[in-house]
Amino acid sequence: MGAVIICKRELAETPYYIESMGIRVYSMEELAYFLYENIYLVDKRMLGVRLFEWLRDEMHCPELADRLQKGAEAGGSLQNMVLTILRSVDFYSQEELAQLTAKMKVLNTYQEQERLKLRADEYFVGGNYQAAIYEYQKILDIRQSDRLGVEFYAHVWNNLGVCCCRLFLFGKAAQAFRTSWQYQKDRVVLKEYVCAMRLGLSDEDFEEAMELQKIRGEQLEELTEEYERLSREAGERLERPADLAKRLYELEKEYERNTRYA
């Protein structure tokens, strides 16, 4: 069982909304907890003017807001801003703050692409696929680093493809999987590519595309075997919801969560 965080100060009437995660925090303790547990997601947009105003107006912490704003205007590091917020809340021990500091120092040694991938992966795991796509694309827009190697970029393209699939963007997903395959010949990625093509094309166009790429016969059957099985099972289990309107509303809210921008 996890520990209970007791909020010692008055809760905000208007929460601070962390757009990239769709999370609302109502107290300093909640803000500190989010920062501590999600350090890879913290950026200057998150710790900006909107936060300073919330600290002044809702949390009644003008001194903290002024200190953070002056630090930001002077070009202070995110590390210092995070620690300033955490130290203003009597929740984390010195040992825990030291551990977080060490983690942030290691993060500072990473190349920009590596830091972006950590953030993108966090969004991906959290189901925020649109934000993850945005971060993965930022990696690919930066000049490729030889030090990171082909495996790193293969993973980025593959994860980008999975995110696109989750948003039903099968054409873009197929392109991403194909590029990942070109970086690293992984049979799982090839299967993902073929299945994305199968989902995005008509039967006739799919067969033509596979023929052009010389993926045929036994190889094609093996690559699409799992897809065909899952497709049959889905058809057998497909049932009309008892409350169709409620189910549609739930699906709409899920899609909104998955398509938040960072």
Predicted confidence (pLDDT) at residue 122 exceeds the cutoff of 60: yes
**Cβ pair 176, 160 in contact under 8 A:** yes
pLDDT in tens, 156-180: 999 999 999 999 999 999 999 999 9
Angle at 88 between CA 86 and CA 93, to 5 degrees: 55
Quick one: pLDDT band at residue 237, thresholds 50, 70, 90?
low
Taken in order of first residue, the domains within the chain and their CATH numbers are 16-108 (no CATH), 112-239 (1.25.40.10)
Give the CA-trace dihedral at 160, 161, 164, 168, to 10 degrees.
-170
Amino acid found at 232: R
Residue 65 has pLDDT above 90, yes or no: yes
Within the chain, strands assigned E span 16-18, 23-25
CA distances from 90 to 8, 59, 84, 236 (A): 9, 15, 12, 55
Asked whether the predicted pLDDT for residue 26 surpasses 80, the reply is yes
Asked if residue 238 has pLDDT above 70, the reply is: no
Per-residue confidence (pLDDT) for residue 1, from 0 to 100: 35
Residue 241 has pLDDT above 90, yes or no: no
Region 27-36 average pLDDT: 92
Q: Please give the Cα distance from 170 to 164 (Å, whole number).
A: 7
Angle between helices 149-166 and 187-200 (to 10 degrees): 30
Q: Which residues make beta-bridge pairs with 24?
A: 17
N-term to C-term CA, the chain: 31
Beta strands 16-18 and 23-25 are antiparallel
* pTM across the whole model: 0.76
221: Cβ contacts below 8 Å, ≥ 6 apart: none
Hey, is 23 helix, strand or coil? strand
